[in-house]
Chain A
Amino acid sequence: MQAFAALLDSLSFQPARNAKLRLIETYLRQAPDPDRGWALAALTGGLDFPAAKPALLRSFGEEKIGAELFHLSYDYVGDLAETLALVWETRPDAGPPPSLSEVVETLQRATKMQTPAILRRWLDTLDSTGRWALLKLLTGALRVGVSARLAKQAAANIGDQPVGEVEEVWHGLSPPYRPLFDWLLNGGPKPSSNMGGAFLPPMLANAIERAELDALDPAHFRAEWKWDGIRVQVAASGGVKRLYSRAGEDISKAFPDVVDAIDFEGVFDGELLVRREDAVAPFNDLQQRLNRKAVTPKMLKEHPAHVRLYDALWLEGEDLRALSFDERRARLEAWMARTPRPRFDLSPLVPFTDWVHLARLREEMRSDGIEGLMLKRADSTYLAGRPKGPWFKWKRDPMLADCVLMYAQRGHGKRSSFYSDFTFGCWRQTADGKRELAPVGKAYFGFTDEELRWLDKWVRDRTTNRFGPVREVEPKLVLEIAFDGIARSTRHKSGVAMRFPRINRIRTDKPADEADTVDNLLRFVP
């Protein structure tokens, strides 16, 4: 536990991606099995035990040093788990601290009633970093700035494998991932992939602008509408049916209507939409489904989900990824034509003669459900990651930018108890080559009341700093900002000022790393 705690501690302070990778790699190489497997599970969000409630932590603290001192301490530190970790002292006579596997395996078996006594004993044996890590693990919020993908990347690195290989076998494995480490470190066999509804690492597109298109031959490309939903992967194999977000997060539970309708085997890319009759509902409707833990029958009826397929990775027991786009498309169309399925349809190709023609089609298409166009090379094989050249997304104007929430301030009047004024930023390179967020604007509206409540909670849970009424938050949440114009400005730190910015939607599906850069914004400047 202490080694894992030291890892979390270092990760929480190291902002640089490469340094984080190095820390995780070093740990994974040095830690024994099954500790490292449980650690990898913790970092990828794969551990599941009953969370300790804040009230329990508070009662422990008050019991230890009294209510007054605990209150003063919590007030100063600002984080309950950290406060308790700091005020609780190690007892020299309490014996050796538990290993990570002991912690995980004990908690998985323990009943809710037993947990407090076990916890108390562990707190006595660990040092303050160990206590902090344990409490973070128990409250289900590590927040050390490591995405599941980054952790998988580190695992891949220790075995000199591309991360795509690890992601491919990932969903066929479960913690503590012994076969994975056996393969990566000890020359063992590669665990089998695509068994039991495995997620296959997706192929992603690069953004493109009108001017850049002229360098490309339109005859080499196919066009599809870019739907305003969520990119998903439908994976059904070995009797297991799953729906994944593009980041590989299993979202099956939130969409039983889609998952129940899977009566086939295969792996497909598509867009998750809410569809009423034949119309695609606004993104907000989908958002409502996405943020729910439990899905009510009413929800299912009023917000029916639907997947619009546009690619086939596996079909009829065959891996299609080495085939060209045209070949995969032909297979997909033929398969769809054989059996119509009400929850699934095919995203049509958009025929065009040249870029001028396509640009006009894009201008004329004024449906809310469409974000722009996808351009895919006819001969492109399916490559994991974001290869440069084969796939492009050509987004529709109004100006949209994906920004990262940086600060929130309490509103006024009716909203005075809510954090409702949001300052967001975009990435830029500092003089010494680091990436940092520069604030680019402030938005007060564009969200529903429900989204406001959600944002308010998010801000409170992820505050890193307070300056009077303003809270600084972890740079984790991507907000899609719509705006009417943008101009260079010397008054703003980032050098740009937005006109009429509003929160278009909350992009919980998008990693903050992938938000826009200030340079991206500058391209909007007329």
Chain B
Amino acid sequence: MTDTLNPRSWLYPTPRGLYCEPGGFYVDPAVAVDRAVITHGHGDHARPGHRNALATPETLAIMRARFQGMPDTTQQPLKYGESVKAGDVDVSLVPAGHILGSAQAVLEYRGQRIVVSGDYKRRPDATCPPFEPVPCDVFITEATFALPVFHHPCDASEIGQLLRSLETFPERTHLVGVYALGKCQRVIKLLRAAGYDKRIWIHGALASLCKLYQEHGVDLGDIALASDAILETFKGAIVLCPPSAIADRWSRRFFDPIPSMASGWMGVRARARQRGAELPLIISDHADWSELTQTLTDVGAPRVWVTHGREEALVAHARSIGIEAEALHLAGREEEDET
């Protein structure tokens, strides 16, 4: 480790995204570039049109599913734990626990190690391997839920609320808004873990990614397209759909549905109301406040760059425990996004 080397000299934000100069690549760039390292398949990290893309095989599969097969991108799969040289930089990918295929990009250059964690969480998720803390000199962390008000309750108790509501309102369709990639499959797995073995209905927009998860060995049990059934079927059923579909005409096919939403934002009442959720489920694929602060301790980095959300509080906290912290403003990340 050379203290003389300024990390900002070899990895820095540009309008196109976070650029690693001696490696000649961007990490999760906001626009199409020549060489990109992609942490995971969510739209604000994985964009179409790169000439070369390095990512886990699962992430590349997700990108192909989303971007019409990506015929014009040279794809470089890198399994968890394996390492590759890009220019003068060693690149390896380590599980981030966020969604299928999600990884932290570990970059090493002249004895200095920077970890770009992408998005991550610390609690168990049956659809991907758990986050592995990697000791480093600089840790770049997300801050989506970086306020002490975010302490996500345990997943099982949130799923329990959904099942209890089904008991109280056995004739109503429970329409759960979920992001198509990650949240959808995780909610299904959580329901299965809670012993719910009935058919789970899904909106057409969720189908292809569910299929991809199944092909990667994630057993989702009995799922079927909601469009294939008659109305009567949905009495007391669970139907998963993209959040936008709840307010859409699509949802009118269900009789007196209960609009629900599975998201970390549901922990704050005004936000849940804003989204029209009558049964908010606090299920997040992002680290909450305690997970974020725990992770800073676990990786032990003397420097932390905070991106992607509410940087202010996490920077303040990191400084209060003696970490040199600063906000890193990256292009292409929507503050309120949860993907």
**A→B interface (CB under 8 Å):** 6, 10, 12-15, 19, 22-23, 26, 65-66, 68-70, 72-73, 76-79, 82-83, 86-87, 89, 127-128, 431-432, 464-465
Contact = CB atoms under 8 A, between A and B. Distances in A.
Contacts of B169: 19, 22
Given A13-B280, A23-B168, A465-B270, A76 B149 contact: yes
Nearest to A61: B148
B147 A73 contact: yes
A86 B268 contact: yes
Q: Among the interface residues B269, B273, B277, which one has the most CB atoms of the partner chain A within 10 A? A: B269
B150 A86 contact: yes
B270 A68 contact: no
Interface residues of B, number: 30
A86 B153 CA distance: 11
B9 interface: no
A341 B278 CA distance: 54
Contact of A82 (B151, B268, B280): B268
Contacts of A68: 316
A83 B270 CA distance: 11
A128 B316 CA distance: 24
A208 to B, nearest CB: 33
Given A15-B278, A19-B169, A464-B273, A69 B267 contact: no
B151 A89 contact: yes
Interface of B: 147-151, 153, 161, 165, 168-169, 252, 258, 267-270, 272-274, 277-280, 290, 310, 312-313, 316-317, 320
7 contacts: A10-B165, A13-B278, A26-B168, A69-B148, A73-B148, A87-B148, A128-B151
A77 B312 CA distance: 15
A465 B268 CA distance: 12
A128 B280 CA distance: 14
B331 to A, nearest CB: 24
Nearest to B312: A72
B293 to A, nearest CB: 11
A86 B267 contact: yes
Would you list the 5 A-B pairs with minimal beta carbon distance, nearest first?
A: A86-B149, A87-B148, A73-B149, A65-B148, A13-B278
A267 to B, nearest CB: 38
A60 B316 CA distance: 20
A456 B133 CA distance: 51
Nearest to A64: B148
Contacts of B274: 465
B277 A83 contact: no
B313 A69 contact: yes
Contact of B168 (A22, A82, A464): A22
Given A69-B147, A76-B149, A76-B268, 19 more contacts: A13-B273, A13-B280, A19-B258, A22-B169, A26-B168, A69-B148, A70-B148, A72-B147, A79-B269, A82-B269, A83-B149, A86-B149, A86-B150, A86-B151, A87-B148, A87-B149, A89-B151, A431-B252, A432-B252
B158 to A, nearest CB: 11
A184 B289 CA distance: 47
Q: Among the interface residues B165, B272, B278, B279, which one has the most CB atoms of the partner chain A within 10 A? A: B278
B272 A13 contact: yes
A69 B316 contact: yes
A69 B147 CA distance: 8
A65 B147 CA distance: 11
A23 B258 CA distance: 13
A77 B153 CA distance: 17
Contacts of B313: 69, 72-73
B149 A77 contact: yes
A77 B279 contact: no
Contact of A69 (B168, B270, B290, B317): B317
A89 B258 CA distance: 30
Nearest to B279: A13
A77 B268 contact: yes
A22 B258 CA distance: 13
A65 B290 CA distance: 12
Contacts of B168: 22-23, 26
Nearest to B164: A6
Contacts of A76: 147, 149, 268, 310
Contacts of B277: 13
A271 to B, nearest CB: 39
Contacts of B149: 73, 76-77, 83, 86-87
A27 B259 CA distance: 21
Contacts of B267: 86, 128
Contacts of B290: 89
A70 B147 CA distance: 9
A76 B278 CA distance: 21
